[in-house]
Amino acid sequence: MTDPRRALPSVEQVLVGLGAIDLPQALLTEIARRTIDDARTSIEEGCAISRSEVIEIARVSATSTARELLGPMINATGVLLHTNLGRAPLGERALAAVTGSASYANLEYKLETGKRGSRHDHAGHLLAMAVGAEAAIVVNNNAAAVMLVLGALARDSEVVVSRGELVEIGGGFRVPDVLRESGAKLIEVGTTNRTRAADFLGAKSPATAMFLRVHASNYRMIGFTEQPAITELAETGIDVVVDAGSGLLDSTTPWLDAPPSWLSDEPGIRQCLTDGAALVTFSGDKLLGGPQAGVIAGRRDLVEACARHPLARALRADKLTLSALQSVALSYLRGSVVEDIPFWQMASAPLSELRNRAEAITARVPSAKVIDSHAAAGGGSLPGLTIPSIAVALATDNVDAALAQLRERRIVAIARDHALVADLRSVNGQCDAALADALVALTTSR
């Protein structure tokens, strides 16, 4: 008997067998080599494996590698700010700004004098105006913003936090850990459900750097609960810092005709500042519907102390982020938020419009149904509050297989009651045809 390992294809034979897959040759060669090595191990362990099987395994592996490359997705989950799907989609205006600055840009350059400028003069300055702050700077994300504020202003001193707000935001962002990492000493006050201004005041000492309020974001406590108002804390003379994360730029939502009920109770950055917060931090994507970024806004001396800290250099945002954020800030200042920012477009789309789109899809997929659904802002915003929505549902005895088939076309839907459900509130209308194509393929492949 001949050694079955001698039947293994060569790397060149696998590469020919792979045909046209759009990946660099080095990557395809690596996949071919790895597949042959694995096949050799299988044969040594006593499993028969043919030459064509090896080529087929390599083809599946290469196709999967190409598909897993970072790229666009259709989000039919109904979660508008889906962290795993990159949170907020950028609108055309922001995209044009990014494209423009992708070349050389006046990132740190003053056109008038020809001298060095600051990257904080662009989006930071505009966002300060939009929230009514003396100054603002932009960093990589809100986690970085909190880290920088604590590192610059509270190192080796005390930060007082309510026990009800010592939360984990997700992705490993735990308030006590962040405080420890930044070299600040955490002073816990109050109880899990109730904390009063008197509790904060009782913890005040010469070592107190700030009173920190943390927006609980992705969880909600209901019932017998109490947290002190920012105004009460500000009256004590200690600087109040609010980590808002998500929420609203302005809780009166001047960019909407009428604030919808699902927005009730969300904190506004502008209102935190008028209530007396010395600094507020928030997310560029969760709160503004812009690019991933973190904003530190408030009193000029404190913002400048953050900007001067060595960590600021490590956490700073790049020109692409700053261009997108500048565009988003201009849209808020202009009041053209619903027109320009896809998050607000999607959140405020009337049900009748979603229903029309759903009917156009089901006209092509007769076994699918139009159903009422509930979308969510997501990204830790507005827990428990849902936005009425419309979805297309397709009954199937194997929802997992159907979802996997949609993922091959870069569409993420959800499973609900033995049906595949595609919520249209998070789907760009221009993607409806692709969604309908995928559903047609599903119903014809069964």
Ligand X SMILES: *Cc1c(COP(=O)(O)O)cnc(C)c1O
Torsion angle, alpha carbons of 392, 395, 396, 397, to 10:
140
Q: Does 439 bind ligand X (CB under 6 A)?
A: no
The tally of CA atoms less than 13 A away on the side-chain side of residue 337 is 21
When the beta carbons of 123 and 169 are compared against ligand X, the nearer one is 169
Min separation Cβ 310 and ligand X, Å? 20
Taking CB under 6 A as the criterion, the residue among 135, 210, 214, 402 binding ligand X is: 214
Nearest in space to 280 (alpha carbons), one of 137, 182, 377, 154: 137
Distance CA 81, CA 199 (A): 35
Residue 141 found at the interface with ligand X (CB under 6 A): yes
Beta strands 185-189 and 240-245, pairing class: unpaired
- Nearer Cβ to ligand X (141/396): 141
CA dihedral (137, 142, 143, 149) in degrees, to 10, reads 40
213 binds ligand X (CB under 6 A): no
Specify the 3-state DSSP secondary structure of 184: coil
Q: Give the Cα separation of 440 and 402 in Å (integer).
A: 12
Min. distance of Cβ 244 from ligand X in angstroms?
Answer: 6
The Cα–Cα gap between 385 and 217 comes to 12
Instruction: Between 88 and 442, name the residue whose CB sits nearer to ligand X.
Output: 88
Q: Does 143 bind ligand X (CB under 6 A)?
A: yes
User: Per the structure block, which two tokens stand in for 261?
Assistant: 């009920």
Residue 160 φ then ψ, to 5°: -95, 125
**Interacting residue with ligand X among 9, 124, 164, 245 (CB under 6 A):** 245
Identify which range of 41-49, 212-220, 258-266, 317-325 contacts ligand X by CB under 6 A: 212-220
Question: Quick one: which of 26, 23, 51, 48 has its CA closest to 36?
Answer: 51
User: Is residue 182 at the binding interface for ligand X, with CB under 6 A as the rule?
Assistant: no
Residue in the shown chain whose Cβ atom is closest to ligand X: 245
Q: Verify binding: residue 227, ligand X, rule CB under 6 A.
A: no
- Site size toward ligand X (CB under 6 A) is 16
What is the contact mask toward ligand X in residues 152 to 181, using x (rule: CB under 6 A)?
Answer: -----------------x---x--------
**Binder among 162, 182, 195, 246 for ligand X (CB under 6 A):** 246
Interface residues with ligand X (CB under 6 A) are: 141-143, 146, 169, 173, 214-215, 217, 243, 245-246, 283, 286, 294, 380
